[in-house]
Amino acid sequence: MIFRGAAQAGRGPLGVAPLGAVPPPVLERVAAVARGALGFMPLPPFPPLDPAPFLDAARRQYRADLVLARLKESAPPGGRILAVAAVDLFLPVLTYVFGCAELRGAAAVVSTHRLDPRFHGEPEDAGLLLERLEKETLHELGHLLGLVHCADRSCLMASAHDVGEIDVEEPSFCADCRAKLRARA
């Protein structure tokens, strides 16, 4: 997949860490997207994070805000860290999230769980899962770089509450969001 017009040199280092059982090729793809589309400098792979401390047993989901707090402790000096989760994430005020990030912060997390077509009763489709994951990754990294949600429904920074909204997003930031990224470089 090609992400048009966003790459900037010097975004700083970005570490990618698995949260749960995430296949290494998925982690490598996420790191490549961050590097190619936004110009982050890759760091060596981070060790896997155990999702157990973030589990809310009553909901059988994992608290994304607690994941972010833990990630902030592991962020490299002057850099950022992104966790790729194989578990279902939520925030206390939301039923679920595809990911979340600190605005202009050091930590973000994305989850493959609800991006997987099989979660929605559809046939396995690794290509569609990766496409959704790439879009969600860039969305959350956009928040780390200071972008807020965009009103343009085709922009990667549009707020998505279901996978159908992710699917209609273009694989790029809109012109306004690209301009904001350039201004923050």
Which residues are identified as catalytic?
140
- Scanning the chain, the segments in alpha helix (DSSP H) are 24-38, 64-74, 126-144, 163-168, 175-183
Beta-bridged to residue 14, according to DSSP, are: 42, 80
In the block, tokens 């879009």 appear at: 135
In angstroms, rounded to a whole number, what is the distance separating the alpha carbons of residues 145 and 113? 25
Q: Which amino acid does the sequence have at 30? A: V
In angstroms, rounded to a whole number, what is the distance separating the alpha carbons of residues 38 and 9? 8
Q: Is 63 helix (H, G, I), strand (E, B) or coil?
A: strand
Say if CB 51 and CB 16 are below 8 A apart: no
